[in-house]
Amino acid sequence: MSLLLNVIWLVLAGFWMAVGYVVAGIICCILIITIPFGLASFRIANYALWPFGRTLTDRRDAGAFSLLGNIIWIVFAGWWLALGHLVTGILLCITIIGIPLGIGNLKMIPVSLVPLGREIVPVRD
């Protein structure tokens, strides 16, 4: 079932959201000091392409620098990525078939706001 949801997700929302994360990552990697933000953005772009069957967890070694970095991320990039997830999620929830995808999109808003200190892990069945 997750394969089917991932394929539909990729076509309807995942590709475009991943493009947004990749653009944010490229911009962050151009500026040397923001490379950690770029790497986090690329990691979340990977998750945005194929989210079903995987989940995000907090990293145990994340500390004060992750908190500070997430505050900076929210101000410069996180809010517009979260807005993209919100708009896409609402549009997908209009149709009955799109409701699970819309809910998945809305669940990605927190990680789009605070990506540092997170890791992607497979869901255990």
Does the structure show a pLDDT above 90 at 42? yes
- Calculate what percentage of the chain has a pLDDT beyond 90: 14
Does the structure show a pLDDT above 80 at 1? no
Give per-residue pLDDT as tens, 44-91.
899 888 888 888 888 878 778 888 888 988 988 888 889 988 998 999
Instruction: Quote the crossing angle between the two packed helices 35-49 and 15-30, to the nearest 10°.
Output: 170
- The vertex-55 CA angle with 20 and 2, nearest 5°, equals 90
